[in-house]
Structure 1
Amino acid sequence: MDLVLPLLHSLPADRVPACGETTSRPAASALRPYVVGYAGFRTVVDGHLRRRILPITVTTVIVDFAGPGSWITGPRSGHHVHELADWRYGVAIGLTPAGVSALLGVPLPELVGATVSPSTLLGRRAGELADRLGSAPDWPARFAVLDDLLATWLVTGRAVDDAATRAWWQLQRPGRTVGAVAGGLGIGRRGLELAFRRRIGMSPGTVARVARFQRAAHRLGRPGAALALATDHGYADQPHFSREVRALTGVTPGELFAFLQDLRRPAH
């Protein structure tokens, strides 16, 4: 049930040379029904940095262990610019629909498009998480802390393995249409739409659209990547890809490509 990592939560809204570093790792195998994985980040510019928050299908827990920038952001289908993005040095944790139930204990539709403080949903655990991550010596140690700590927090009885959850996973992968996924689950397209409204808070078509963008963005961030990859990810042609990138991010494919190439460097 793996997703392509790293998922793209946000980008600098302005082009700043050498503005940051990232590294990522999938969660431990036992956690993957609930936790997609982890991304370590560090911002190395002075002053405040505006960020462009992008569409994503997972809930993201941002833990900033060097400042006040810890947040939980829900899945979303649109983009916006965060003028005072104060997360600087920390870890982002990607949660699946089952992970939101098992770790946060809230219905996923309540988080769609929302931004909340971790303490609101995690209580004292938010401080414990930041303290333990901040005291770990390096990224592998921090990711190991997350594997251990999140495993102890799981309340698996809260997680629901229903048709919407199974369809959500299938729609993260290339070549899956909403109709085919619904048919494979034996519930019909209208039934899947209703299940997503209750369980996910986004339509299956929107989830598929955002997942397709995330797969394309991952490819664009690879070393040696090229822009001419539209049909590899289910876009009809390059103009279709260009329209989708503009609609979902507010920037051109060329601008997105430049930002992604800037960011894909290992953190130390």
Structure 2
Amino acid sequence: MVHGALGGVAGAGAVEIARLGGLWRVTRPWHPGLRPFLRSYVGYWEAVTSPYRARLVPTGHATLLINLAEPFSQVRRLGVPGGDSGRIGSLVVGVEDRPAICVHPGGQEAIRVEFTPLGAYRLFGLPMSELTNLAIEIEDVLGPAAGFLVERLASTRDWAARFDLLDAALLARLDFGPEPTPEVTHAWHLLTGSAGAIPIARIAAEVGWSQGYLTRRFTQQVGLPPKASARVLRFRRAVALLNRGTTSLTEISTICGFYDQAHLNRDFRAIAGTTPGQMVAARRVEGAVALSPSADSSKTRSTAGR
């Protein structure tokens, strides 16, 4: 197990290692050249090795997970035919609007990077619509060089050096990736700035496109249509308010633009496969919600796709 060394490199800042629950987390300030494209960048390993099952809840971002030790036994997307990855190591996860169940045998050590959808579009170099609600082996998205990078990261004995290697690989991809169109970029900023509350017709009018054309181009570059993206953004705002613990579900429904509390509950079931109350009470693991042995029931599977 690599416990890493404190330190860093010129211009990158110091590496910080801290225990958070059952994980040791490793962070340092993001490289300035990557900062516009990132939403999270963290290394971690288990403080106590133990098997776990967790529900991956949509974040509105795309994820790159570099697995440095034991692979996942399974990543299974709920409500998606053929959405079972089987055994999988390092992976790319596209933008999601439904949950997944991941199963790990224990002994996980990884680097998890979350990108904005448009940042992922540029860094991955392919339409984000090809990755929606999928977990795909890293080499199938980023090519054979990604496999060599994973091997180098796993064999490196220092976390600062690991981050340097990954930073360099990501920065190199920026030189070759496609630029999002200005209209889609503006539409995304309007949608995120309102946390999904702005009408899609208003966005289309502001960027000067028809709704149909906006939907096609937006879906290609973001991964979800504008309406589905807005739904995930409202969900994420509701989760943030729930985590504060100071606002009632009725108030959250109104603030986030749900018709009523029943509408909020339906979207939580569809997007996260759980209720607001269950999600707040659940123990968190890195990027996911831990499950009890009975949490992945047939009832959860049937409601997740609605």
Normalised-by-shorter TM-score class:
0.7 to 0.9
Q: Are 1:193 and 2:219 an aligned pair?
A: no
Percent identity, aligned pairs only? 27
Following the alignment from structure 1 to structure 2, what is the Cα–Cα distance between the partners of residues 263 and 57? 16
Following the alignment from structure 1 to structure 2, what is the Cα–Cα distance between the partners of residues 22 and 259? 20
Q: Are 1:108 and 2:131 an aligned pair?
A: no
Structure 1 residue 243: Cα displacement: 2.6
Following the alignment from structure 1 to structure 2, what is the Cα–Cα distance between the partners of residues 254 and 25? 33
Secondary structure of 2:270's counterpart equals helix
CA contact (8 A) 2:118 2:222 kept: no
Letter in 2 for 1:205: K
Deviations 1:67-96 (A, max 9, x none): 333211111211132344778222211233
Which has a greater percent of strand?
A: 2
Matched residue pairs, number?
A: 244
Secondary structure of 1:241's counterpart equals helix
Instruction: Identify if the C-alpha distance between structure 1 residues 86 and 73 changes in structure 2 by more than 3 Å, giving closer, same or farther.
Output: farther
- Which structure would you say has the larger Rg? 2
Instruction: Identify if the C-alpha distance between structure 1 residues 248 and 70 changes in structure 2 by more than 3 Å, giving closer, same or farther.
Output: same
CA contact (8 A) 2:180 2:221 kept: no
Q: Are 1:180 and 2:183 an aligned pair?
A: no
Alignment equivalent of 2:282, drawn from 253, 259, 266: 259
Following the alignment from structure 2 to structure 1, what is the Cα–Cα distance between the partners of residues 201 and 134? 28
CA contact (8 A) 1:26 1:36 kept: no
Alignment equivalent of 2:45, drawn from 31, 42, 46: 42
Structure 1 residue 52: Cα displacement: 1.0
Letter in 1 for 2:140: T
Instruction: Provide the residue aligned with 1:53 in structure 2.
Output: 56
Identify unmatched segments of 5+ residues in structure 2.
Answer: 1-20, 72-88, 288-306
Following the alignment from structure 2 to structure 1, what is the Cα–Cα distance between the partners of residues 179 and 233? 22
Structure 2 matches for 1:183-262, cutoff 5 A? 183-221=205-243, 225-226=245-246, 228=248, 230=252, 231-259=254-282
Alignment RMSD, CA only? Answer: 3.3
Identify unmatched segments of 5+ residues in structure 1.
Answer: 1-17
CA contact (8 A) 1:51 1:85 kept: no
Q: TM-score, normalised by structure 1?
A: 0.73
Q: TM-score, normalised by structure 2?
A: 0.66
